[in-house]
Structure 1
Amino acid sequence: MAKLASLLRRIEAILAGTFLLLMVALIFTGGIARMLGHPLNWTIDLATCFFAWGCFLCADIAWRRDALMSINLVPNSLPPRAAQALALINHTIIAGFLGYVIYAGTLLSWTSRARSFQGIPGVSYSWVTASIVVGSALLLVTTLHRMVGLVRQEPDAARVSGSP
């Protein structure tokens, strides 16, 4: 199970990097083409799609590595058990929100399946809105993993963001 999780994390990182590199390449290509007098308007639209996917994947990577910005004034001033309880409450709220985003994103993807993305024929807008569902599902899995760590009081998963 650990090997599968490691493989999935690696694939996620490769995809995130690839999407962000493709986004930059498309924007650069569009700029060069515009400078040469032959604008490629679709490059910005496709780069926007890659940006959405890259953002959600990178958000999960940052959440898993505890690399998101946080303010620890309150948790650091609490006793360890109270800080742990507060972290568990925060993670429960985050998990609930992500569950709702998955539900709403699924509805959005379903209703936008017939809509073309930025007028590009054959490309459904659902490809962009699916990034919400997939990204939120990955974030939810990471959140649940952190919650299990909090309950088990594992040092890496249980520590409050930013605390040693």
Structure 2
Amino acid sequence: MRQLYLKFSKVENILANALLIAIFALVFLSAFMRTIGSPVNWAQDAALVAFAWMVFLGSDLAIRNTKLIGIEVLTKHLPKNVQKYLDIIFKIIIIIFLMVLVKYGYTMVITGARRSIPTLGISYAYVTAAVPVGSLLMIISIIIKLIEAIKTPMIKWGGEN
């Protein structure tokens, strides 16, 4: 199972990077073509779709690689056992928030299915699906981090300050 997750993580990383490159290329193409008097109307919409997906995939990558903004300025002065418990509590709160995003994101997908993006000829649901899918991916990553935090002995956290 771990091997499958690692392979998926690599694919997700490649996809997020490809989306970032695509956004750059699409915005550049759109600006260049507009400058020479031949605008490419669909490029901006395609860049926005790519951006929505890149944000949620990139957020999952940030969680997986522990690159989230922390409040270490405050917590590093607390005893190590308190740091561990706060870390666990914060992860649980994040999971609950992401579950709310999955629930309402799913609703957005259902309602967005009736709308379309005229320049691309696709349903708006393809854009809004980034919210529940990305949130589910983040939930998986945080659960893995939560299990690691719970299993880590207090001694490995450094003990008391």
Same fold (TM over 0.5): yes
Cα shift readout 1:70-128 (whole Å, capped 9, x = no counterpart): 221232111111111111111111000000100100011011101002x2363000000
Aligned to 2:32: 32
CA distance in 2 between counterparts of 1:16 and 1:96 reads: 25
Q: Which residue of 2 aligns with 1:89?
A: 89
> Alpha-carbon deviation of 1:68?
1.9
SS in 2 for 1:69: coil
Amino acid of the residue matched to residue 61 of structure 2?
Answer: I
Consecutive unaligned residues of structure 1, counting only runs of 5 or more, are: 160-164
Which amino acid in 2 is paired with 1:53? W
Aligned-residue sequence identity (percent) comes to 31
- Per chain length, whose mean CA-contact separation is higher, i.e. which structure has more relative contact order (CA < 8 Å, sep 6+)? 2
Aligned equivalent of 1:162? none
Q: Give unmatched runs, 5+ long, in structure 2.
A: none
Asked if the contact 2:102–2:131 (Cα under 8 Å) also holds between the matched residues in 1, the reply is yes
2:151 maps to which residue? Answer: 152
For residues 92 and 6 of structure 2, what CA distance do their matches in structure 1 show?
25
Q: Deviations over 1:24-59 (max 9, x none)?
A: 111111111111101112111110110111111111
Normalising by structure 1, we get a TM-score of 0.89
State the number of aligned residues: 156
Q: Residue 135 of structure 2 aligns with which residue?
A: 136
State the alpha-carbon separation in 2 of the partners of residues 30 and 116 from structure 1: 21
Moved over 3 A (4+): none
SS at match of 1:38: coil
State how far apart, in whole Å, the 1-side matches of 2:16 and 2:85 are.
33
Is 2:54 aligned against 1:69?
Answer: no
Distance 1:95 1:54 in 2: 20
- What secondary structure does 2:70 align onto? coil
